[in-house]
């Protein structure tokens, strides 16, 4: 029989490890779905790198406290985060960690609240949240978790509902985001989150010595063809003291699109698509010590991905 007391920090760590394994298995499938915000074919890779970072942070931990393990995993994910989807998932983890703070073991109701805080954190990260993305999927997943917890479900049964609602949300993403419908795909970030939730579902059932029925998965090949110019993707970390997070978010938003600026007064992760990455870097250098700088030519990536898929 599955009991709530078994869901602790070690369970959370095992769930992240299972998530990494499932993302490794489906990375290219998720990459193939990637058309928004830029069809550069790297969403699966970005989510995998982010989850790998979270796993690396807790892999050797013997800590039983769910709150402590989740906090370390979230911070590690932030440091490793890549791309829109990776940064947003790190924020979902941040919210989950806040929901589990101070808890050694957690109940289904605790985790439903943690997922809700994860969804809120992800939405609040963006200046202009867009539905039909990973945001829609985490929001529906959290809603399903709350409903199941209110009905007295254990974690395994609750995660059945979470995965079911997540899948339904993914199938609806093309109706919410026209670029997905035009390409004949579902949202890549949402699909990546689906696999993470599915990994947790499997772990919850395995603790009880049972194997869940495999949930449906979806793989749709995108139809790419665009002349749009995307500029450059620049990602970096800023370290310092008393860093102005909200001001930084506003300033970076003036420099480009797909803006994600997250962190706190000591560490800020920046992600933005911009025609002038030098302006972003110069501003960051004025704030503090800059690390982990990555600059990618998005137009070149898009052409490369389109050429490969059209062969």
Contact yes or no for 114/95 (Cβ under 8 A): yes
**What pLDDT does residue 39 have?**
83
**What pLDDT does residue 304 have?**
79
**What pLDDT does residue 206 have?**
85
Residues of the chain with CATH 3.30.70: 232-309
Residue 187, helix vs strand vs coil: coil
> Has this prediction a pTM greater than 0.85?
no
Give the tens place of pLDDT for each residue, 118-139.
999 999 998 889 999 999 999 9
**What pLDDT does residue 197 have?**
97
Phi, psi of 233, rounded to the nearest 5 degrees: -105, 120
Among 262, 114, 128, 132, residue whose Cα is nearest residue 189: 132
**What pLDDT does residue 23 have?**
97
Tell me the C-alpha distance between 3 and 284, whole Å. 48
**What pLDDT does residue 219 have?**
41
CATH architecture observed for domain 4-207:
Alpha Horseshoe (1.25)
Region for residue 209 given its phi and psi (left: phi exceeds 0; alpha: psi -120 to 50; beta: otherwise): left
Residues of the chain with CATH 1.25.40.340: 4-207
Residue segments in the chain with a per-residue pLDDT below the cut of 50: 1-5, 214-225
Q: Which CATH class is domain 232-309?
A: alpha beta
**What pLDDT does residue 212 have?**
57
């Amino acid at each position: 029989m599955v009991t709530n007391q078994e869901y602790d920090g070690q369970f959370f760590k095992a769930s992240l490890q299972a998530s990494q394994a499932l993302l490794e298995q489906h990375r290219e499938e998720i990459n193939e779905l990637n058309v928004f915000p830029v069809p550069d074919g790297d969403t699966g890779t970005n989510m995998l790198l982010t989850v790998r970072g979270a796993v690396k942070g807790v892999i050797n931990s013997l800590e039983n406290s769910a709150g402590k393990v989740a906090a370390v995993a979230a911070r590690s994910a932030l440091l490793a985060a890549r791309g829109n989807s990776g940064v947003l998932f790190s924020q979902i983890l941040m919210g989950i960690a806040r929901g589990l703070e101070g808890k050694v073991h957690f109940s289904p109701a605790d985790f439903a609240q943690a997922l809700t805080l994860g969804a809120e954190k992800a939405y609040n990260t963006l200046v202009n949240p867009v539905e039909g993305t990973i945001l829609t999927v985490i929001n529906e997943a959290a809603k399903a978790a709350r409903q199941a917890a209110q009905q007295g479900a254990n974690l395994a049964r609750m995660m059945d509902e979470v995965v079911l609602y997540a899948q339904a949300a993914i199938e609806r993403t093309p109706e919410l985001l026209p670029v997905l419908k035009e390409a004949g795909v579902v949202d890549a970030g949402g699909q990546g989150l689906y696999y993470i939730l599915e990994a947790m579902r499997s772990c919850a059932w395995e603790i009880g010595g049972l194997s869940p029925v495999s949930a449906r998965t979806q793989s749709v090949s995108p139809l790419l063809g665009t002349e749009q110019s995307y500029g450059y993707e620049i990602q970096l970390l800023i370290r310092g003291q008393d860093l102005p997070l909200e001001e930084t978010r506003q300033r970076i938003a003036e420099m480009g699109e797909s803006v994600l600026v997250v962190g706190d007064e000591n560490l800020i992760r920046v992600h933005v698509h911009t025609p002038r990455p030098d302006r972003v870097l110069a501003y960051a250098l004025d704030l503090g010590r800059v690390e982990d700088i990555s600059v990618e030519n998005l137009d070149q990536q898009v052409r490369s991905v389109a050429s490969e898929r059209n062969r």
